[in-house]
Amino acid sequence: MSKQKKVKAMAVAMGVLFLLSGCQEKKEAQSAKESTSESQVSDESTVAPENEVLKPITEHSIDYKGVMIDKTDWQLILANKEFPVNEVAGLEIQNADNNQSMDQRIFPAYESMKQAAQADGIEFLLISGYRSVEAQQGIYDQSIATYLNQGYSEEEAKKLTLDYIAYPGTSEHQTGLALDIVTPQYNHDVGELDDRFDAYDGAVWLKENAHKYGFVMRYPTGKEDITGYAHEGWHYRYVGIDHATQIYEEGLTLEEYLKLVDDTVQNNKK
Which are the catalytic amino acids?
A: 232
In percent, the amount of the chain with pLDDT more than 90 equals 71
Q: Strand 54-58 relative to strand 61-64: parallel, antiparallel, unpaired? A: antiparallel
Helices and strands (H and E) in the chain: how many? 9, 10
State how far the alpha carbon of 248 is from the alpha carbons of 130, 165, 189, 215, 235, in Å: 23, 24, 29, 9, 14
pLDDT digits (tens, 9 = 90+) for 15-39: 656 655 555 544 554 544 444 444 4
The domains located in the chain, with CATH, are: 34-131+172-269 (3.30.1380.10)
If you average pLDDT over residues 107-134, what whole number do you get?
Answer: 98
pLDDT digits (tens, 9 = 90+) for 86-117: 778 889 999 999 999 999 999 999 999 999 99
pLDDT digits (tens, 9 = 90+) for 200-233: 999 999 999 999 999 999 999 999 999 999 999 9
Burial class (CB in 10 A: 0-12, 13-18, 19+), 172: buried
